[in-house]
Amino acid sequence: MAAQILDGKALAASWEQQLSTRVAALKEKSGGKTPILATILVGDDPASATYVKMKGNACRRVGMDSMAVELPSSTTTEQLLAKIDELNNDSNVHGILLQHPVPAQIDERACFDAIALHKDVDGVTCLGFGRMAMGEDAYGCATPKGIMRLLEHYKIDIEGKHAVVVGRSAILGKPMAMMLLEANATVTICHSRTQNLPALIKQADILVGAVGKPEFIKAEWVKDGAVVVDAGYHPGGVGDIELAPLHERASAITPVPGGVGPMTINTLIFQSVDSGEKALA
């Protein structure tokens, strides 16, 4: 039986229509004001510049404004902290995104954690992570939160299932595991140094590939009927999981591209609109 395709691209487009309606209603109610997402790009990394541009375009598609803050690669931690503080105190800004990675001389974690909790729409602060992990109110990290929204839309049953997350990054693997745990899954966190990794993956009812290595997870490791979520994207249009053979064996698959990626950006916009509504409504 062919696997169900969890189409993040189509779902993100559908959500953009709903978000456009919400932004228009907010604009009318607030005398013309819209949610504003401030994006901070430090340096001239072309991939980062492309990602920031995509996020700005997504803002405009739903009628939001974006504020592009571009800083030179020579920026110090203190200078970046000062800019974040300025945006924290700007009542016209409702979300702050610091594009990862920043130049090596900057203390990235200190700068992430300087973002005010109510403006942390990308879910990158330690405070936001801790509150999310404890089931308290906070914006979730955009990629894992986007995955949860995708699973919810397609009515993928999570409760009581064994979810295996391969990857332990602060903005994907760890928060993904916490969100699945909060949804009543039994969660195993693995990574590239896990012993007997194929045997653990074979147990997964829900598999999330977030290890950052192209096709690191082999199709033969995945059991028949598993829900397969691939959060990776690498040159050549491949993810972290060897997906092609799984189209006839898995129960559901996120395609690469067009699965997780569009939901990441859409979740950033979704949470920015929510922040704007709280501030402006």
* CB within 8 Å of 86: residues ≥ 6 apart: none
Phi-psi region at 167: left, alpha or beta (left = phi > 0; alpha = psi -120 to 50) = left
Residue 100 near residue 51, CB atoms below 8 Å: no
| Catalytic annotation, pick one of 7, 65, 83, 99 | 99
Phi-psi region at 246: left, alpha or beta (left = phi > 0; alpha = psi -120 to 50) = alpha
Neighbours of 202 (CB within 10 A): 15
| Catalytic annotation, pick one of 7, 65, 120, 122 | 122
- Is 55 assigned a catalytic role? yes
Q: Where would I find the H helices in 1-76?
A: 8-29, 46-61
Residue 140 near residue 175, CB atoms below 8 Å: yes
Helix (H, G, I), strand (E, B) or coil at 68: strand
- Is 99 assigned a catalytic role? yes
CA 251 to chain centre: 23
| Catalytic annotation, pick one of 7, 55, 161, 271 | 55
* CB within 8 Å of 196: residues ≥ 6 apart: none
Give catalytic residue positions. Answer: 55, 99, 122
